[in-house]
Chains A and B, each alone.
Chain A
């Protein structure tokens, strides 16, 4: 595997820290602007800060540096930025915060964008799941993985896709933000189960079929990280999804789980 330093790791850390501070700062500033209208749950703020922090840890610093050399660290970083961070970020309901804080004109524009056809297409649970799993299968079952490890630009693109696709799928399944034409519980449950299955199958497949440039031992440990750490996040997703169902006025009437 090629070693490369991202043009000085210190610089990257600085950029990521600044971006993280900017993200947290904007969220808090937006809340402050809209506070007069309605109170805001504290756990959502914690979700945002936690999500941004996880994103940062997985993108720059010791773990991200190790991810270039070891497949195991790479798997840990991927679960963090592709699954855990999106879950927290989506739980922070950033769209609601933005809609409340933005001036009317801008808020209208944002909601129009969210209701646009392309936005609706990618927030369709099945499409979001396909983007997610498709990206993973491409990354690990083609030479893309080795390529991304050697080319910083490709690596960045893969990284961004992972975060974006993770956020998209999480939002499509359990977003507390208003989503136009949200699918029913049963529909989202089926997509979630299918996505979990796809993730588990890929993890076990990688256990026995390492991507290019990864040793068998590293692939085994990395695959188990992907499988079990992935499970942990997925179970939280299931709990959040089922809680939504449980909170309905008469859950049993609205197609029970299963």
Chain B
């Protein structure tokens, strides 16, 4: 039921991406593939935020919301996206950089490291939530 809630995760994705976008709308060095990928992510990101919040509300209404699992999903989605953004979009496709006029390596490493940390935290939370759910089932059964 809650498996797909990771989508809600894109909540922080957009915050990151949008905030950064404001500083690097388009730096003209972007190949067309990057432009397309950016446009698609822009659209998917916005939609995921809106849909994710409505989904959250729908689950709450049905009393089917497991906060820990949801948070796990959010972190996994956010971390996963950031990692993708940092590696594929920033580096491979050469779509804008994090900052201009400084040595990028430190920024890139921090970016990807934070992404991995978020991802790991999300996985841990999800696994723990699953464990709790199983334990609850056992006591019930």
A binds B: yes
A256 touches B43 (CB 8 A): no
Residue of B nearest to A234 (CB): B46
- The interface size of chain B toward A, counting residues with CB under 8 Å, comes to 27
Task: Give B residues with C-beta under 8 Å from A.
Answer: 1, 4, 7, 25-26, 28, 35-36, 38-40, 42-44, 46-48, 50-52, 54-55, 57-59, 62, 64
User: Is chain B's binding surface mostly helix, strand, loop or mixed?
Assistant: helix
Least CB distance from B39 to A in Å reads: 3
SS class of chain A's interface: helix, strand, loop or mixed?
helix
Minimum CB–CB distance from B11 to chain A (whole Å) comes to 13
State A187–B46 Cα separation when bound (angstroms). 17
Closest to B41 in A: A197
Q: How far is the CB of A250 from chain B (nearest CB, A)?
A: 8
Q: Which residues of B contact A137 (CB under 8 A)?
A: none
Q: How large is the interface on A (under 10, 10 to 19, 20 to 34, 35 or more residues)?
A: 20 to 34
Chain B residue contacts of A257, Cβ below 8 A: 7, 47, 51-52, 54-55
Please give, as numbers and ranges, the residues of chain B lying within 8 Å of A243 by CB-CB distance.
54
User: Does B26 lie within 8 Å of A246, measured CB to CB?
Assistant: no
List, sorted by A's number, 13 A–B pairs whose CB atoms are closer than 8 Å: A189-B47, A192-B47, A193-B47, A194-B43, A197-B36, A235-B46, A238-B50, A243-B54, A252-B1, A252-B58, A252-B64, A257-B51, A258-B7
Chain A residues lying within 8 Å of B59, measured Cβ to Cβ, are 252
Question: A167-212: which residues lie under 8 A (CB-CB) from chain B?
Answer: 189, 192-201, 204-205, 207-208
The CA of A193 and the CA of B62, in the complex, are separated in Å by: 27
Q: Which residues of A contact B57 (CB under 8 A)?
A: 246
Using CB atoms, name the residue of chain B closest to A238: B50
Those 8 A-B pairs whose CB atoms lie nearest each other, nearest first: A257-B51, A201-B39, A196-B43, A197-B43, A258-B7, A242-B54, A200-B39, A238-B50
Which residues of B have CB within 8 Å of A22?
Answer: none
A interface residues, Cβ below 8 angstroms from B? 189, 192-201, 204-205, 207-208, 224, 227, 231, 234-235, 238-239, 242-243, 245-246, 251-252, 256-258
Residues of chain B contacted by A252 (CB below 8 angstroms): 1, 55, 58-59, 62, 64
State how many angstroms separate the Cβ of A80 from the closest Cβ of chain B. Answer: 20
Contact present for B39 and A242 (CB under 8 Å): no
- Please determine whether A246 and B54 come into contact, CB atoms closer than 8 angstroms: yes
Q: B35, A205: Cβ atoms under 8 Å?
A: yes
Q: Tell me the minimal C-beta distance from A226 to chain B in angstroms.
A: 12
Contact indicator A204/B58 (Cβ below 8 Å): no
Which residue on A lies nearest to B40, using beta carbons? A197
11 additional A-B residue pairs with CB within 8 Å, beyond A242-B51, A256-B55: A196-B46, A197-B36, A197-B44, A200-B42, A201-B35, A201-B38, A204-B38, A207-B25, A235-B50, A252-B58, A258-B48
Minimum Cβ distance to chain B for residue A256 (Å): 6
Closest to A197 in B: B43
Query: If A207-B25, A231-B46 touch, does A197 touch B51 (CB 8 Å cutoff)?
Result: no
